[in-house]
Structure 1
Amino acid sequence: MYIAKTQAKDCSIEWELMFGGFTVHVIIAGESVPIDRSVFVDLLENSVVNGRAPYIHALEKSKIQYSELLTLARKAEIPHPLFFAPPAVVKAQLRTKTTKLLQGVAPTTFTVNTRTTVKLRDVELIVKDLLRKQDLARKHDPTLTKNKIVGLLRKPRPTVQEDAMALIKAIGLDREAIRQARKKETALELIIERLEANQILVSRSVRGYMPQLIEVHFSGMTVRDSKVPYIFLTGGDHGDFQEPAGRQIFTVVLMTVLVARGIFAPVSYDANSTAPDAGREYDIVGEILMPAAELEKISFKDLDAVKTMADMFKVTPSALTVRAMRLGRLTPLTAAGYLRELEGEFRARNKKTQTNQPKPVNAIRKYSGRELTRRMLLAVEERRLTAREFCRVVCLNRIGPSDIGELKAALR
């Protein structure tokens, strides 16, 4: 492998894509270094930058500025020397990368009533980052034990109700405390608190504080680990007619069910669909948040009644509508009418203005997760982990060692 280097700060360096000969040349100070074209394509085509203009233009115009190539490589987390490697070496590295990713998530999307699919490249850098965080936790936290929630529901019990109660008991979920919460945001925090108390780490998307932008609509994903599985939640704004907090409550419980079922994959679901094939996982979530026995006593005479009960159960009106329909408490025709009305109300609202970017310490706490951050801060205090390594893996170098005190305060 030959690694091209230059000391000239203003040197004009270009890649020429010789399509006829299937080679790529890099022009450095007037010299051409041949590189197999398949290397260029294989490394970037199935990466997070495959839709970026510099890559597309390189294929169209047969050249790319060297500085742009370096930027693409950095964003895709591809070591720059790999572009100069033989094709066989590159393919071996790509196989290794794919194997590592598949240790965390399956290549297929877990979907409920939706055709949305998520490719590994859509979440590749986030998966790799969460895997690094899991590795860090296992290495530096001696208190971790085998997770009792992973696989708890792998073998279904006779009824959905039994599965739901087994998971509620294992997590220590207090339905009444959730319902008594003043806001759905508070209820969401209570659920996350119980998950983290059971070594299930929860990461929430924060634009600008993740290793890649999310450019596809999906609900989140579950990342495999026998001790500290991760649940990753997207922002909650999926373009449907639901408030983010209410949707995230349903989503985080759905992904908890998937962890208990031993399913680790990107997750996408349409909570507004009245399709009959939602699946057992969906019904377990419904039983946890909206028990069938309680819904039998409720009248759903109009949409206002649905909204009132949705606030009580801390779910979205559309989620309660679909749940009531699946239990036979609403006809499909009535449920479809309620969903259309909810959609009309949503579209009539003024769009929210974009929120301000959070403080770095709050963004780190949200994306890395409170529990992982807390455990790794303890490891720093006990000198099992260096402050610099903590800032690199947990904080993605968004803060330095001198800011760790402020991060500790944000966790209180």
Structure 2
Amino acid sequence: MTSTEAEPPTDATQRVIQVLIRGTVTPVSRELFTTLLDNSVAGTYKGYGDAIRTGHITLSQLKFLAERGDIPYSLFFAPLPLVQRQVATKTEKLLAGLSRDTFSIGSRARVELRDVELIVKDLIRKQQLVKKHDPTLVRNSIVGSLPGKRHSPDSDATQLMTALGLSADTIGATRTKEQALELLITHLEANQVLVSRSVQHYMPQRLTHVHFSGMTIRDNKVPFIFLAGGDHADDQEPVGRTVFTLALMSVLVARKIFAPMTWDGGSVETEPGYEYDVAGAMLMPADRFRTVAPTSLDDMKRASDRFKVTASAVTVRASRLGMISGTTARRYLDELRDEFRALPKGGPRSPILPENAVRKYNGRELTVRMLRALDASSISQGDFCRAVCLNHLKPSQIDDLRSAVQ
């Protein structure tokens, strides 16, 4: 090995990443390298992990990571204090749309910002992008529409559902919980509340080690709701849980609460709070709920199909309305958890088509608006694929995306 070839890291070189430039090694501060890439989408790329592990990287690989992370290449050779100031300023601006506190309902779980930071940054970039390219956007009427606790949960639930153009009967009339979820998303997005759903491998950050429900991201025109999906560790049927989660997060937007959110949908151990009761009243209005009058565990299961939520959510609602005791509710919830755990787990899922994955993560509304911007030549195909699709689609696949949102 010659003196100009990259060598494995030793104790003396742990503080730098060796960049191989035309046969010559140029050291870059490891702290500077990680500061730039840990705060970008490129920090999730294999090339970054390889560089950290081996202590060296080629110039072409470095440029690739810089491009993917939207990082000016020259910053890798700038003074560390300058880089730290720029990253801190950019992060402060980007995270202005999200509280660092976790909004928790009946849950001890908390979300560390670093676990979701890259997704937050990407969704905020998308908010900025659609506002830049779509002059038809207006101030959002849902944000802040339920300030303070002026009315009863049922009254506020009716107000919010009316603003969304929905009713519990309309949701209940859908054939499946999947259709109920899509209906709720459609009405939120029709009111400029964008909805993004977790799609592993199509987001800038993996969530395999994070248990949380999602997050709401501030904007006066296009607030985002991100649904985490996946395993919430509370042993509930997932689609019905997501329907309730989305209703709850729409309440947070209306209350101007923008934060990561965790909630335990199968607990009556702690006071769930006002927002939870409003969401419950949106999907299970007290008058209709009392007419159904669920009291037995089988009643809870039948009512869950009627209201398009989980049997656990019905149980908690019955307890909140005083129709069953807390002791009975806890027993039912324990039985429901045991039943769910005993269900056979499904096998490998069919791979999702790239265009469907991009549509699901971005949300249909943002995708449609950015396609209009593309057609108006407000954004180039290359920038569309990079900023909207995170390079998961090539220009030749844009028509596939069009079909996916029709």
Q: Which residue of 2 aligns with 1:112?
A: 105
Q: Is the 8 A contact 2:268 2:316 kept in 1?
A: yes
Counterpart in the other structure of 1:307? 301
Match of 2:363 in 1: 369
The residue type paired with residue 337 of structure 2 is E
Please tell me whether the aligned partners of residues 147 and 255 of structure 2 are also in contact (alpha carbons under 8 angstroms). Answer: yes
Asked whether 1:64 is paired with 2:58, we answer no
In terms of mean alpha carbon deviation, does 156-165 or 190-199 score higher? 156-165
Partner of residue 182 from structure 1, selected from 175, 180, 203: 175
Over residues 156-188 of structure 1, what are the superposed CA-to-partner deviations in whole Å (9 max), with x where a residue is unaligned? 323222211111111111321210111000000
Superposition pairs of residues 158-307 of structure 1, within 5 angstroms: 158-215=151-208, 216-307=210-301
Alpha-carbon contact 1:374-1:411 (below 8 Å) kept: yes
Q: Structure 1: which 5+ residue stretches go unaligned?
A: 1-7
**How far apart, CA to CA, are the structure 2 residues paired with 1:312 and 1:65?**
59
User: Aligned to 1:222, what secondary structure does the other structure show?
Assistant: strand
Q: CA RMSD in A?
A: 3.2
Distance 1:265 1:205 in 2: 16
Q: Is contact 1:209–1:363 with CA below 8 Å preserved after alignment?
A: yes
Distance 1:315 1:219, change over 3 A: same
In structure 2, what is the Cα distance between the partners aligned to 1:81 and 1:206?
33
Select the residue among 311, 331, 335 that pairs with 1:317.
311
Alpha-carbon distance, 1:42 to partner: 5.1
**CA shift for structure 1 position 142:** 1.4
The letter for the 1-side match of 2:238 is: P
> Does the 8 A contact of 1:24 with 1:35 survive in 2?
yes
> What residue in structure 1 maps to residue 137 of structure 2?
144
1:61-140 equivalent positions in 2, closer than 5 A: 64-66=55-57, 70=62, 81-140=74-133
Structure 1's 405 and 147: CA in aligned 2 closer, same or farther, altered over 3 A? Answer: same
Query: Would you say the 8 A contact 1:24–1:36 is kept in 2?
Result: yes
Moved more, 394-403 or 281-290: 394-403
The answer for the alignment partner of 1:339 in structure 2 is: 333
For structure 2, list consecutive stretches of 5 or more residues without a partner in the other structure: none
Aligned residues of 2:20 and 2:56 also touching (Cα < 8 A):
no
Q: Tell me, what secondary structure is at the counterpart of 1:232?
A: strand
Q: TM-score, normalised by structure 2?
A: 0.87
Contact 1:16 1:27 (8 Å CA) reproduced: no
Deviation of residue 303 (structure 1)?
Answer: 0.8
Distance in 1 separating the partners of 2:185 and 2:300:
26
The equivalent of 2:374 in structure 1 is 380
Q: Cα deviations across residues 193-245 of structure 1 (Å, max 9, x unaligned)?
A: 10011011111111121111113111111111111111111124323221211
Q: Give SS of 1:296's match.
A: helix
Q: For each residue in 1:295-333, what CA deviation from the matched residue of structure 2 results, as whole angstroms up to 9, or x when unmatched?
A: 333433321110001110110001111111122111111
In structure 2, relative to structure 1, the CA distance for the partners of 1:234 and 1:23 (3 Å cut) is: closer
Please tell me the residue identity of whatever aligns with 1:64: G
What's the CA shift for 1:49? Answer: 9.5
- Which letter maps to 1:391? C
Stretch of structure 1 that moved more, 292-301 or 397-406 = 292-301
In the TM superposition, residue 141 of structure 1 has moved relative to its aligned partner by 1.0
Given that 1:224 and 1:264 are in contact with CA atoms closer than 8 Å, whether structure 2 keeps it comes out as: yes
CA gap 1:209/1:157 in 2 versus in 1, 3 angstroms = same
Name the CA distance, whole Å, in 2 between partners of 1:289 and 1:13: 62
In terms of mean alpha carbon deviation, does 343-352 or 238-247 score higher? Answer: 238-247
Pick closer, same or farther for the CA change 1:337–1:16 going to 2, 3 Å.
Answer: same
Paired position in structure 1 for 2:353: 359
Distance 2:18 2:377 in 1: 46
Q: 3-state DSSP class of the match of 1:375?
A: helix
Please give the alpha-carbon distance, in whole angstroms, between the structure 1 residues aligned to 2:93 and 2:114.
Answer: 13
The DSSP-based 3-state class of the residue aligned with 1:325 is helix
Please state how far the C-alpha of 1:12 moved relative to its aligned partner: 2.2
CA–CA distance in 2 between the matches of 1:272 and 1:49?
Answer: 37
1:374 Cα deviation from its structure 2 partner: 1.0
- Stretch deviating more after TM superposition (193-202 or 125-134): 125-134
8 Å contact from structure 1 (residues 202, 233) kept in 2: yes
Task: Say if 2:32 and 2:80, in contact at 8 Å, map to a contact too.
Answer: yes
CA distance, structure 2, for counterparts of residue 75 and residue 391 of structure 1: 12
Is 1:402 equivalent to 2:396 in the alignment? Answer: yes
Provide the residue aligned with 1:156 in structure 2: 149
Question: 2:216 is paired with a residue of what secondary structure?
Answer: strand
Which residue identity does 1:254 align to in structure 2?
Answer: L
- Percent sequence identity over aligned pairs: 49
* Deviation readout 1:105-143 (Å, 9 max, x if unpaired): 111111111122222221122112111211121111111
- Distance of aligned partners of 1:44 and 1:119 in 2 relative to their CA distance in 1, 3 Å threshold: farther
Taking a change above 3 Å as real, the CA distance of residues 52 and 379 of structure 1, as seen in their structure-2 partners, is closer
The number of residues matched between the two structures is 400
